[in-house]
């Protein structure tokens, strides 16, 4: 089958290293947009394909689609090695196809990527809809003056011949109207789409501590009892958490803006579509009411409730996952969610950095620890709760770690699952941009640091990536906290 543009999600080049089974959900919207404009897109998740067919020859597979453009996502830093190696392979088997990468990480490191890897033809930074459409038109229109064309494509970083890297001066930011026209449920544009729902990230489902092993099949279960997928709510964030590569600061660098949300009606439509037309049991909701204003969420739920009423129904069969730092605690809106969705399936995954305001402020987490405890008491017995404690952050201390351990023990007694995470170093984050401000020493900084780190990795533990000038090491913090949540010590 030949296609105009083949979207590929990488996996399997370093099977023992860090994995990310999912492609960015925005790719479905992108593919739907290109199809609305008369082109033939296809999304292939090679990570999934390799699990379904361990004998799969990537070269043969890629060649068989005879694509004019190959779009590879490089959204999460965990794909810095995988996506580049896939691009290399694609150029080898389809030398005339244009290879373009995009996503958060690619946007942060566009120039370096173009300098290092001549087999990548372009990076699209930030919002990719219009730029990718124009790039596709350029790639299919062989008779044109290439240089002239490329200059006019917004958000594009490219190279002419072996020359210097150029960033087009035009920029594009998607509008709310355009965002509302994208269809994020076009699963028919995805190869083996039904099997996609059998992929899972052990961190999320089931609501348990994750077991990270080196077997790729750990990410796939043909009999998966609970299927989860992502609801598209918008792009970006208004908060400035120092470690986060999806913060307002990081988005500003990559997307030249902070937050854009879809309209509540469109989100409500999608909730109903997931409920009625897909095998999905739980939807993961970014921009949850823990970080986004209640007014927006009331509008979504008003719309869901009225659609349910038209159908003579009172509740959805879906559950939800909220995964956020609890910056807002509004029990009214949370209560409404728990009432309209199936609360027995629903999961709250809360991230906490410290018990002390001083440390939270230093890391720009506008969180009130008392409110968090209030929230946890409310949720106890009402939904599944996971609490992720971030360690290694600048400003954390031995004394605050000990207090955090008490908190972890209490939280666990209330029935929540507690996990401990290294605060990873994300491209574009405040920490990586301004290490001196946070008294940290970076161990990775450039794209090539991430690339080599991931190339050499032989386990699935998380990356930390810097040394903080704290009075306690990250290893000691982990020891203290793990001891506090070991089940035998609970009684």
C-beta of 2: minimal distance to ligand B12 in Å?
19
Mark the segment that binds ligand B12 (CB under 6 A) among 101-109, 336-344, 435-443, 444-452: 101-109
C-beta of 425: minimal distance to ligand B12 in Å?
9
The contact pattern for ligand B12, residues 106-135, with x = CB under 6 A and - = no contact, is ------------------x--xxx--x---
End-to-end CA distance of the chain: 61
For the chain, the C-alpha Rg in angstroms (whole number) is: 23
308 near ligand B12, rule: CB under 6 A: no
Mark the segment that binds ligand B12 (CB under 6 A) among 17-25, 327-335, 354-362, 371-379: 17-25
Instruction: Provide the 10 A C-beta neighbour count for residue 439.
Output: 12
Calpha distance 266→322 (Å, rounded): 19
Both tokens assigned to 35: 């199809």
373 near ligand B12, rule: CB under 6 A: no
The contact pattern for ligand B12, residues 165-184, with x = CB under 6 A and - = no contact, is --------------------
- Interface size with ligand B12, residues (CB under 6 A): 39
49 vs 129, beta carbon nearer ligand B12: 129
Mark the segment that binds ligand B12 (CB under 6 A) among 152-160, 241-249, 430-438, 445-453: 241-249
CA–CA distance from 373 to each of 289, 328, 329, 423 (Å)?
17, 12, 10, 22
205 vs 376, beta carbon nearer ligand B12: 205
Q: Which residues pair with 70 in a beta bridge?
A: 6, 99
Calpha distance 98→447 (Å, rounded): 22
C-beta of 306: minimal distance to ligand B12 in Å?
27
Calpha distance 221→199 (Å, rounded): 7
Relative orientation angle of helices 294-310 and 331-340, to the nearest 10 degrees? 20
C-beta of 424: minimal distance to ligand B12 in Å?
6
C-beta of 257: minimal distance to ligand B12 in Å?
11
C-beta of 108: minimal distance to ligand B12 in Å?
7
Residue 482: phi and psi, rounded to 5, are -65, -40
245 near ligand B12, rule: CB under 6 A: yes
154 near ligand B12, rule: CB under 6 A: no
C-beta of 274: minimal distance to ligand B12 in Å?
14
For the chain, count helices (H), then strands (E).
20, 17
Which residue of 6, 10, 43, 244 would you call a contact of ligand B12, by CB under 6 A?
A: 244
C-beta of 141: minimal distance to ligand B12 in Å?
18
78 vs 352, beta carbon nearer ligand B12: 78
Calpha distance 376→370 (Å, rounded): 10
26 near ligand B12, rule: CB under 6 A: yes
DSSP 463: P
Calpha distance 406→329 (Å, rounded): 22
Calpha distance 156→348 (Å, rounded): 38
Contact 248, 239 (CB under 8 A): yes
Kindly list the residues in this chain that would bind ligand B12 in the complex (CB under 6 A): 20-22, 24-27, 30, 71-73, 75-78, 100-105, 124, 127-129, 132, 201, 203, 230, 235, 237, 244-246, 284, 286, 426-427, 462
């Amino acid at each position: 089958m030949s296609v105009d543009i083949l979207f590929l999600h990488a996996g399997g080049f370093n099977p023992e290293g860090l994995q990310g089974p999912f492609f960015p959900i925005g790719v479905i919207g992108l593919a739907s947009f290109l199809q609305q404009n008369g082109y033939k897109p296809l999304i292939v998740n090679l990570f999934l394909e390799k699990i379904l067919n361990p004998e799969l020859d990537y070269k043969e597979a890629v060649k068989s689609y005879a694509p004019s453009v190959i779009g590879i996502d490089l959204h999460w830093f965990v794909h810095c090695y995988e996506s580049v190696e896939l691009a290399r392979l694609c150029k080898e088997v389809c030398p005339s196809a244009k290879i373009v990468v995009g996503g958060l990480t690619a946007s942060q490191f566009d120039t370096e990527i173009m300098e290092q890897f001549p087999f990548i033809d372009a990076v699209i930074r930030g919002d990719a809809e219009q730029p990718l459409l124009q790039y596709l038109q350029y790639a299919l229109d062989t008779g044109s003056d290439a240089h002239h064309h490329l200059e006019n494509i917004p958000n594009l970083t490219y190279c002419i011949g072996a020359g210097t890297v150029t960033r087009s001066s035009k920029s594009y930011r998607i509008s709310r109207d355009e965002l509302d026209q994208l269809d994020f449920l076009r699963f028919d544009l995805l190869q083996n789409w039904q099997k996609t729902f059998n992929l899972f990230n052990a961190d999320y489902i089931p609501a348990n501590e994750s077991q990270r092993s080196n077997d790729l099949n750990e990410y796939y279960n043909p009999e998966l009892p609970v299927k989860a997928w992502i609801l598209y709510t918008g792009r970006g964030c208004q908060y400035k958490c120092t470690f986060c590569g999806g913060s307002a600061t990081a988005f500003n660098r990559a997307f030249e803006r902070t937050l854009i949300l879809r309209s509540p009606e469109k989100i409500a439509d999608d909730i109903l579509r997931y409920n009625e037309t897909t095998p999905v049991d739980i939807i993961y909701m970014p921009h949850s009411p823990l970080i986004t204003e209640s007014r927006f969420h009331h509008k979504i739920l008003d719309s869901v409730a009225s659609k349910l009423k038209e159908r003579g129904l009172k509740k959805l069969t879906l559950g939800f996952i909220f995964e956020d730092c609890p910056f807002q605690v509004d029990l009214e809106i949370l209560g409404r969610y728990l009432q309209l969705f199936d609360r027995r399936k629903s999961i709250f995954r809360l991230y906490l950095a410290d018990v002390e305001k001083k440390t939270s402020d230093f890391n720009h987490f506008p969180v009130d620890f008392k409110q968090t405890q209030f929230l946890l008491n409310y949720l106890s017995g009402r939904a599944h709760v996971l609490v992720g404690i971030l360690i290694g952050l600048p400003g954390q201390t031995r004394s605050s770690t000990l207090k955090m351990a008490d908190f972890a023990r209490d939280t666990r007694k209330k029935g929540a699952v507690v996990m401990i995470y290294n605060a990873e170093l994300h491209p574009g984050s405040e920490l990586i941009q301004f290490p001196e401000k946070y008294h940290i020493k970076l161990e990775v900084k450039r794209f090539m640091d991430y690339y080599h780190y991931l190339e050499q990795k032989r386990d699935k533990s998380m990356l930390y990536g810097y040394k903080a000038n704290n009075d306690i090491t990250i290893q000691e913090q982990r020891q203290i906290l793990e001891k506090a949540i070991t089940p035998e010590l609970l009684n």
